[in-house]
Chains A and B, each alone.
Chain A
Amino acid sequence: MLNVGRLNEGFVLDHIEAGKSMSIYHDLKLDKLDCCVAIIKNARSNVMGVKDIIKVECDIEALDLDILGFIDCDITVNIIKDGEIVEKKELSLPETIENVIKCKNPRCITSIEQELKHVFVLTDKEKKIYRCKYCEEKYGERTKERKKAK
């Protein structure tokens, strides 16, 4: 197995569903950070078969991890300090998500109002349903409709 060196301070995002690491890299805006980032794809996993791992060497305050809970609650977040795991962070679904996903409803005010934040609100925790704050369109609904039409 490929080895990536130990971190001194930062995060290890473990148990990422195989293939999702690059989109998480972009969603967390890791490309904007001036630090060392390692992405390991298709690592062997006893539980998952294969998984992705992201290691980020940065100040632990530098990242907003709330969005990870929205992407995948099952990701394990290990916080590393002085080369040791100091905390395993439990992820939960954030109540609101700002400017991460966009409302795809062409009738929504977000499609024309200048500089209006795209805000989604958690409306059903059990079913993980997020709705646009403005038009209440369910996130993902329109993509599903388009796929069906094809």
Chain B
Amino acid sequence: MRHLMSPLDFTVEELDKVLSLAGEIEKNPEKYAHVCQGKKLATIFYEPSTRTRLSFEAAMMNLGGNVLGFSSAASSSAAKGESVSDTIRMISCYADICAMRHPKEGAPLVASMHSSIPVINAGDGGHQHPTQTITDLLTIKSLKGRLGNLTIGLCGDLKFGRTVHSLINALVRYEGVKFVLISPEELRVPGYIREEVLDANGIEYKEVVRLEDVMSELDLLYMTRVQKERFFNEEDYVRMKDFYILDKQKMALGREDMLVLHPLPRVNEISVEVDDDPRAVYFKQVQYGVYARMALILTLLNTKVE
């Protein structure tokens, strides 16, 4: 039995299979509409989430399966002090597969150690969020046609943004990838990502502060939100939150085939006037998230579709 804790749990070949399956689901959704009939997905979310939980639930429903679960720690037995290991043993009796979000880092790993059903990490604190990364990869592959030979601009909170760290980790495995890291000095990519991931893999990258200076070089621009919940100090958050605002003027500097991605929710970092630009694909990305999760559920449940 397999679990998914980090995007790197899959080899490049395994990930390719998941992405191809997702591509096939996109082309032929009817073929997959009943393949999980009689199966149940438990979404156990110890902290609030709109997109990820609904995306998982939509994915399972699209496959003809059923969904059960809870969406905050307050409405679960965690409020009574139950451990993660006890909760997952109980959930294992109710469902066939489980997606878990938890504010504590490593909680889904603890769950996987005691589970008799596959566990998918649906986000654990500032640590990992593998299904977002697989969604990002699927979006890039589907719309760009490749995952290698790309210059990728990552912009915003590169220090605390787990989606950025996971995406860098996943993309360094492909040839010809270059990164342009765009952030204020205080929110630069952590040293261990530079040393242990970028330098260790011989990846070309540069760090800049001004987005305008590099727009024309990018194949992809991945915008991120400055997350209030990651700051201990309100003052720092207020100072950083509107550092980057992608608007029409900045978009005019980008190439015609550049794509703009964002893991959402967006706050101020992308002006709504950009939404109508065909290069803005962050809402398509949400749709790819459902296909990616459908492919993952099928892969982890080992469901073969002829």
Contacts and interface: CB of A to CB of B under 8 A. Distances in A.
A112 B82 CA distance: 10
Given A107-B105, A108-B104, A134-B105, A113 B125 contact: no
A107 to B, nearest CB: 5
B194 to A, nearest CB: 14
Contacts of A111: 104
Interface in A87-121: 105, 107-114, 116
Contacts of A105: 105
Interface in B90-128: 102-107, 109-110, 124-127
B110 A135 contact: no
A135 B83 contact: no
User: Which of A107, A134, A136 counts the most chain B CB atoms within 10 A?
Assistant: A134
Contacts, number: 50
Contacts of B83: 113-114
A64 interface: no
B196 A133 contact: no
Interface of B: 83-85, 102-107, 109-110, 124-127, 192, 196
B84 A138 contact: no
A131 B110 CA distance: 16
Interface string A107-150: 11111111010000000100000001111111000000000000
A107 B103 contact: yes
Interface residues of A, number: 18
A107 B109 contact: no
B106 A133 contact: yes
Given A112-B104, A135-B105, 20 more contacts: A105-B105, A107-B103, A107-B126, A108-B106, A109-B109, A110-B106, A111-B104, A113-B84, A113-B107, A114-B83, A116-B85, A116-B110, A124-B196, A133-B109, A134-B105, A134-B106, A134-B107, A135-B125, A136-B105, A136-B127
Nearest to B200: A124
A109 B105 contact: yes
B125 A134 contact: no
B105 A108 contact: yes
A113 B110 contact: yes
Nearest to B107: A109
A138 B106 contact: no
A107 B110 contact: no
A142 B103 CA distance: 19
B104 A107 contact: yes
Given A116-B110, A134-B110, A138-B192, A109 B102 contact: yes
Contacts of A133: 106, 109
